[in-house]
Amino acid sequence: MEPIIDGVVLAGGQSSRMGKDKTQLSLPSGMRLIDRAVLLLQTVVNGQLWISRPWNYTTPGDNDLLDIEPFEGPLSGIARAMTSSHADFLAVMAVDLPNLPMDFYQRFKPYLSPHVEAILPQSARHRQPLAGFWSTHLVSDLIGFRQMGGRKVDTFLNRHTVKWVPVPDAWLSNVNTPREWQSWLDHQERD
């Protein structure tokens, strides 16, 4: 039986280092980062798809989940989606990962198993816990972790069974500052 997969785009950050809302940045194709993230998740989600937004987001839509408290980090958005979910897995995607290939989630889907609590990418240089699949069975531990003041994603994941899947380093590049964004755009023009 095929697992039920819900999805969440993590777009609840302040974008303070960028100086403006990262979700609205336009790719060379004209598509916004937020729209690309939704498209990637739509390739695998067979349940609900949400966008995690900041607590003070002024124009929420039907698929927006607002953080309950301000500036609580990505675990807040993941927890919010998990508590709303009735799926087996949650496909998670940070909005600021413009290099993930369009078939990223399809490539990771074969690793889904009741014996693995998260399936996430790692390159030779680093791991990316905010792109991949999280078992929704983690919800009670995640809520407890957050209630005890836990905010670090890596600290939470170290308590669980994670399948780290090797990927090219370029896939995991994220953009947090105007300089990183411009460098990413310049690189796209050269390719």
> pLDDT tens per residue, the chain (191 residues)?
799 999 999 987 666 666 667 877 778 888 888 899 999 999 999 999 998 876 767 676 788 777 777 678 899 999 999 999 999 999 999 999 999 999 999 999 999 999 999 999 999 999 999 999 999 999 999 999 999 999 999 999 999 999 999 999 999 988 888 788 788 777 886 55
Which residues make up each annotated binding site for GTP?
10-12, 67, 96
Q: Please give the pLDDT value at position 40.
A: 96
Residue extents of the structural domains in the chain: 5-190
Binding site, annotated residues for Mg(2+):
96
- The binding site consists of 10-12, 67, 96
> What's the pTM value of the predicted model, to 2 decimals?
0.92
Protein fold of 5-190? Spore Coat Polysaccharide Biosynthesis Protein SpsA; Chain A (3.90.550)
pLDDT on residue 8: 96
Q: What is the pLDDT of residue 82?
A: 96
For the chain, the three-class secondary structure string (H helix, E strand, C coil) is CCCCEEEEEECCCCCCCCCCCHHHCECCCCCEHHHHHHHHHHCCCCCCEEEEECCCCCCCCCCEEECCCCCCCHHHHHHHHHHHCCCCEEEEEECCCCCCCCCHHHHHHHHCCCCCCEEEEECCCCECCCEEEEEHHHHHHHHHHHHCCCCCHHHHHCCCCEEEEECCHHHHCCCCCHHHHHHHHHHHHHC
Contact call for residues 127 and 83 (beta carbons, < 8 A): no
pLDDT for the residue 160: 97
pLDDT at res. 55: 72
